[in-house]
Amino acid sequence: MANRLASEKSPYLLQHKDNPVDWYPWGPEAFARAKAENKPILLSIGYSTCHWCHVMEHESFSVPAVAEAMNRDFVCIKVDREERPDVDKIYMTAVQAMIGQGGWSLNAFLTPDLKPFYGGTYFPPDSRYGRPSWTGLLERLAQLWKDRRADVENDAESLARAVAAHASSEDESRGRPEADALETAERNLRASFDAENAGFGEAPKFPMPANLRFLLRRCARTGGADAGSMAVETLRAMTRGGIFDQLGGGYARYSTDHAWRIPHFEKMLYDNAQLLECLADAWTVSADPEILRALERTVAYLKRDLRAPGGGFYSAEDADSLPHDEPHGRKSEGAFYLWRKSEIEASLGKDARAFCERYGVVEGSNAFADPHGEFAGKCVLYDKDPKAMPEADAASARAKLFAERAKRPRPSLDDKILASWNGLAIAGLARAFGATGDAMCLDLAEGAADFVRRELASPDGKTLWRRWRDGERAIPGMADDYACMAYGLLALYEASFNPEHLQWGTDLAREALRRFAADGGGLYQTAKEDGRELFTRTIEDHDGVEPAPGSVLADVCLRLHELTGEDAFRRFADETLERFGPRLSTRPLAMPFLLAAWDRAAGKTATLLVADADLPGGAELVGVAREKLRPGLVFAAYRRADKAAFAKIYPLAREIAGAPRARAYLCVGRACGLPTENGAELRKRLEHL
């Protein structure tokens, strides 16, 4: 019989609904039982496309004897980290404090009042990899709870206090970032840059879009070619590597090797959304046609495979899938994407030889390592030698193989829709439109914004829910939902000039400050009225594969202050920069997204306003505004019919008189210079930005 998770909407929780484990979702029913029966809680956190979560589910959670021990001695709770990042942050911090590392699946053991006393990541069914067996660990912890409960509770209380202090950044010193923080960050990235393979550091290699975003803005701000080339070369190397789906577009989660060749095959919306923005910026910096093709193919992937019928974007695709050539086989890593050389020869005929030379296909396997035997006899496609087959021929061959691959069992789709990740997708697509003029990008961004407004927002748009799936919205919106949607809406306004997007983004930024702002800067992940069961509220202090919500909102607030003049926006940005200033000075790459906000706050800034952009000459002026990446520039424009609505947000627009042609104004603070109707003149005025 299915357990309690059968009534949940999370794809991750539903993956465990048939386990013999008596799983509870996170909530008061589980907490009450733990207290009533004086049992510790076993909290297991993961997400639907997590490979090691699948492994542990198969090896342990599906085994009746293991489930019996779990049910007997613990109250077992499953959490989808993507639905509840606040819960994940607390217990990930605790596990990292205990064992020095973290990851998923995350397994933490808690007292009935939710204080952690032990934890780890993946545990095998038998002792191996230097890890204790799962059943042995359960037995030892159950016995420890019975024999030394007071000691366990004391240790849990001490750990909870330490986690609360760290998670709320209470131990941080304060101060503005050092003047050379930006230069230091660039120097550190240069020192770790892999000159042979691009990217930074050793294997495994993660895309880290916030680092690329910082470098591209650094290049645009200073004119230094080195910063831009590191970012462009990394994007180019990733796109040639196996981490990029050579047939269908889109980037996988990370590369297991140093050369971007052998990926962990799951595809996440937040990666592709942020990388799309980086590709758009890289195109404006480099004019590299290879970067443009990567952008176009990433957009095609989002539209084809992650877009929901209503316009929103699904969360992810799994790494594992059923092998097409083994009818009774088990799901394995990358089965959907791997190719035998004989399969390519059968599909492409005379073109197979050139294709195999270009895409690194050999007899047997081209994987560096195969610890689980999943790549035997199969190859990952990577663009080894672009000269081996002309691009037009390669595109035709890719289309044939793509059609053949479509007959295979697909990886499972995590079809929940998250407000925060859709905000990042809206931003990436809007930036892609600004860089390329492709109207499809704007249509996709508009569709996602419409979906969030319709399905995940209150009628006035000021309250967000976090997750939508199968007709249900649930979970109060968290800081990243508000910050990322505001970020996306500002980008969408700059692409569309629709003042409704700007107004909604401004409203969400105000709500984020009201609900989540911490004294002295930064954002709590949860509002005070939500997550009352948690023993602390957390402030994300790291721009990792997803940027911290406080970093995103600091950038949004700096831009909105330029437009609205509201002191609260600038105050939040300044306080956040002061809260994390010492960290930006000593470890700038811990928060590269916030570092880019510091560049905006400390450097030359201005607002470019194109008035009556729909009148003659408007297209030329807008084209000049979009032709380069200008980190210090806030771009605003309005159509004649929208002037009144726009002026409610940007009061200086009220002072602009009508004219028969579009005009561009460069405004600093509350004052605007003389207008120009000439694109060449505008380009000259923008040179210093």
What percent of the chain lies above the pLDDT cut of 70? 99
61-99 CB burial, b ≥16 within 10 A, e <16? bebeebbebbbebbbbbbbbbbbbbbbbbbbbbbbbebe
Tell me the C-alpha distance between 172 and 541, whole Å: 10
181-316+415-602 has CATH 1.50.10.10 classification:
yes
pLDDT at 374: 86
Split at pLDDT 50, 70, 90, the class of 344 is very high
pLDDT tens for each residue of 497-540: 999 999 999 999 999 999 999 999 999 999 988 878 999 999 99
pLDDT tens for each residue of 129-159: 777 899 999 999 999 999 999 999 999 999 9
pLDDT at 368: 85
CA 106 from chain centre, in angstroms, equals 19
Region of poorest pLDDT, from 14-23, 234-243, 285-294, 666-675: 666-675
- 419 Cβ contact partners less than 8 Å away, ≥ 6 residues apart: 452, 456, 464, 465, 466, 467, 477, 481, 484, 485
Split at pLDDT 50, 70, 90, the class of 679 is very high
Q: What is the spatial order of strands in the sheet that 417-418 belongs to?
A: 417-418, 465-469, 472-476
pLDDT at 224: 83
pLDDT at 532: 85
pLDDT reading at 170 higher than 80: no
**Helix or strand (DSSP H, E) at 110:** strand 106-110
pLDDT tens for each residue of 550-582: 999 999 999 999 999 999 999 999 999 999 999
Pairing of strands 75-80, 41-46: parallel
* pTM, entire model: 0.95
pLDDT reading at 426 higher than 70: yes
pLDDT reading at 223 higher than 90: no
Please classify residue 611 by burial: count the beta carbons closer than 10 Å to its beta carbon, then call 0-12 exposed, 13-18 middle and 19+ buried.
buried
Tell me the C-alpha distance between 348 and 340, whole Å: 13
Return the sign of the alpha-carbon dihedral for residues 412, 413, 414, 416: negative
Tell me the average pLDDT across 288-292.
97
pLDDT at 172: 67
Q: What is the DSSP string of 185-202?
A: HHHHHHHHB-TTT-SBSS
Split at pLDDT 50, 70, 90, the class of 115 is very high
Tell me the C-alpha distance between 12 and 47, whole Å: 5
Closest CA to 532 of 588, 476, 492, 572: 476
pLDDT reading at 128 higher than 80: no
Count of residues in the chain: 689
Closest CA to 46 of 93, 108, 3, 100: 108
pLDDT at 171: 60
Tell me the C-alpha distance between 653 and 565, whole Å: 13
What percent of the chain lies above the pLDDT cut of 90? 88
Average pLDDT, the chain: 95
Q: Which class does domain 4-167 fall in? A: alpha beta
pLDDT tens for each residue of 16-60: 999 999 999 999 999 999 999 999 999 999 999 988 899 999 999
* DSSP bridge pairs for 43: 77, 108
Residue ranges per structural domain of the chain: 4-167, 181-316+415-602, 320-410, 606-685
Tokens representing 531 are 């997550």
At residue 46, the 3 state secondary structure works out as strand
Tokens representing 629 are 């990446």
